[in-house]
Chains A and B, each alone.
Chain A
Amino acid sequence: GAGVSQSPSNKVTEKGKDVELRCDPISGHTALYWYRQSLGQGLEFLIYFQGNSAPDKSGLPSDRFSAERTGGSVSTLTIQRTQQEDSAVYLCADAGVGGELFFGEGSRLTVL
């Protein structure tokens, strides 16, 4: 596709369950980011991947959060043992060499 694609668009889960969120970036863009937006708030940086370099995980809120990027393309954000405070919209973005970020439509996570 032409844009950043995320799935699922909506996920409702029970507290304590694990969830996986997927991001398909724009072909050819080497940098990939995950951000989180809680209700009524701005965006919070979580992690980014840049080419073959080690990812910058400095924004991950706890060790229950992890992410990987396979083959320099698709990325998966995993949240283990979900908590209610994990409820948010998780946004994936990539960037061309010009620096502009292109966001996907997000995955809305609700933890009951």
Chain B
Amino acid sequence: GIQVEQSPPDLILQEGANSTLRCNFSDSVNNLQWFHQNPWGQLINLFYIPSGTKQNGRLSATTVATERYSLLYISSSQTTDSGVYFCAVDVDPIIQGAQKLVFGQGTRLTINP
């Protein structure tokens, strides 16, 4: 099956810093999503981005499907950005929302005040 590798596994930064999280995958994908799991365990969908670039406020993501990687950028980080960031991919085409995502192991981000 497809392999998903995220790096770095841990990242500790001061408030205000910028960060880049990387997701490598071993096969072509039809679906790639980034999630943030906050310290209380809630998973929030950040981006659905099988290719191209998207931005949402201080967060942006780029997926280069031909080179099998995706990057999540966080600018001017805040303490509320702390948590675990997961990349998840699916190789099957989406049919009416159906998908079986394979998750990476996550990057644990800690933003210190």
Which residues on A are within 8 Å of B, measured CB to CB? 29-31, 33, 41-45, 48, 50-51, 56, 58-59, 89, 91, 93-103, 105-106
Closest to A106 in B: B41
Q: Is B113 at the interface (CB under 8 A from chain A)?
A: no
CB distance from A9 to the nearest CB of B (A): 10
A50 contacts B43, CB within 8 Å? no
**B44: A residues at CB distance < 8 A:** 103
| Contact across chains for B41 and A48 when beta carbons are under 8 A apart | no
- The reply on B33 being an interface residue by CB < 8 A is yes
Q: Are A42 and B106 also in contact (CB < 8 A) when A96-B97, A100-B45, A100-B48 are?
A: yes
**B100 on the interface (CB 8 Å rule)?**
yes
Query: Which chain B residues (52-108) contact chain A, with CB distance < 8 Å?
Result: 86, 88, 94-106
5 A-B residue pairs with Cβ-Cβ distance under 8 Å, sorted by A, are: A31-B96, A59-B100, A99-B33, A101-B35, A103-B45
Residue of A nearest to B95 (CB): A50
Instruction: Tell me the nearest residue of chain A to B4, going by C-beta.
Output: A42
Q: Bound state CA distance, A91 and B44, in angstroms?
A: 12
Report whether A103 and B43 are in contact in the complex, using a CB–CB cutoff of 8 Å. yes
> Which A residue sits closest to B100, measured CB to CB?
A45
Minimum distance in angstroms from B77 CB to a CB of chain A: 22
Interface contact A97-B96, CB-CB below 8 Å: yes
Contact B105 A41 (CB under 8 A): yes
Assembly CA distance A101 to B103 (angstroms): 13
* Residues in A neighbouring B96, C-beta threshold 8 A: 30-31, 50-51, 97
* CA–CA, A57 and B18, complex, Å: 41
Query: How many whole Å from A72's CB to the nearest CB in chain B?
Result: 13
| Chain A residue at minimal CB-CB distance from B44 | A103
The interface residues of chain A lying within 8 Å CB-to-CB of B105 are 41-42
- When the two chains form their complex, are residues B86 and A43 in contact, meaning their CB atoms are under 8 A apart? yes
